[in-house]
Every structure is written in structure tokens, then in C-alpha cells.
Amino acid sequence: MPAAPARRPPGAPMVYLAAVPPHGAACDHHTCATPALVRVVFPRSRFDADGSPPAPGSWDSCDLHWPAFRDATLRNGHHITDTTGDPRQLLTEFPGWRIFRSDLGRLYAARPGTTVYGWLTAQLRAEIRRWQAGSGPVLPSGPAVPGSPQVRGDAP
């Protein structure tokens, strides 16, 4: 029996950058115009054989469309990097809070009597601070995170 042909290893995974979109940005999914909560910056494609102009370098997503995009990206072997920080940092910043991520990728912070959430580390940090200041969370349209790291323009 002949040996099975060697399979070519899949291409290197792409790394997508997730950031807080600019204030007032709307979701880029078809005709959805709800407030965007995550800006995804795509790696620049090196494919130019078809002569088409490069695709847009970023995509703004809302609370409804982000989980499906994130899931498809990860299922296809790619990575998403939260440019706003590492959620594990929140454990030392906010002792007494339990920090965890859901299967859909939403970050949660919980303590007895309350739970807040965000898609990105900076959003969760802002929600915890808002709760500690006594103003409560801003949901469901998501938190505004002034001064947080944002990615502007096209991917590097």
C-alpha cells in the first residue's frame, strides 16, 4: 500500500488586533449602525496578484456581531490580541474581584452582589472603576473608555 501523500502544513496564523473604536463609531456589518464596541485591525495582505486595491485595514463591530467574528477567527486558527491590556492585570489592580472570560470571549468581573463586563480589558477596567465610584455600569451599548489605547488607521 502506497504511503499517503504528505500534507502541507497550513499557513501561519494571522494576528488580528482588537482595540477600542473611536467615540461615535458605528458597526461596519452591512446595514447595522449600532455603536461599535471593538475595532479589529487586520494584518496587511501581501496578495496583490489580482490587481485589486487592498481591503480596508480595520472593521468596527458591535455587541451583536463581535462574538461571531471572534469565533470564526479563532476557529480558523488565527489569533486576536487585545491591544488595551492583559485581563490578568486586573486581578492585581482590583483585589476582591473575580475576573473571567466567557466562551464567547466577553470579559467579566464579579464580586458578591454585582457583575460587570466588557469585550476588551480597558472596557472592563472602566466598568469596574465606574462601579466602584458608585455610578454603576453603562450597559448594554457598552462603555466609553476615554484615554484608552486605540488603534488608528490601517494595520502596520
pLDDT in tens, 38-88: 999 987 766 666 666 666 688 999 999 999 999 999 999 999 999 999 999
State in Å, rounded, how far the first CA of the chain is from the last one.
49
What pLDDT does residue 85 have? 95
pLDDT in tens, 14-37: 889 999 999 999 999 888 989 999
Cell match 482590583: residue?
Answer: 94
* pTM as predicted: 0.73
What pLDDT does residue 146 have? 47
Residue 107, pLDDT > 60, answer yes
Give the burial class of 36: count Cβ atoms within 10 A of its Cβ; 0-12 exposed, 13-18 middle, 19 or more buried: buried
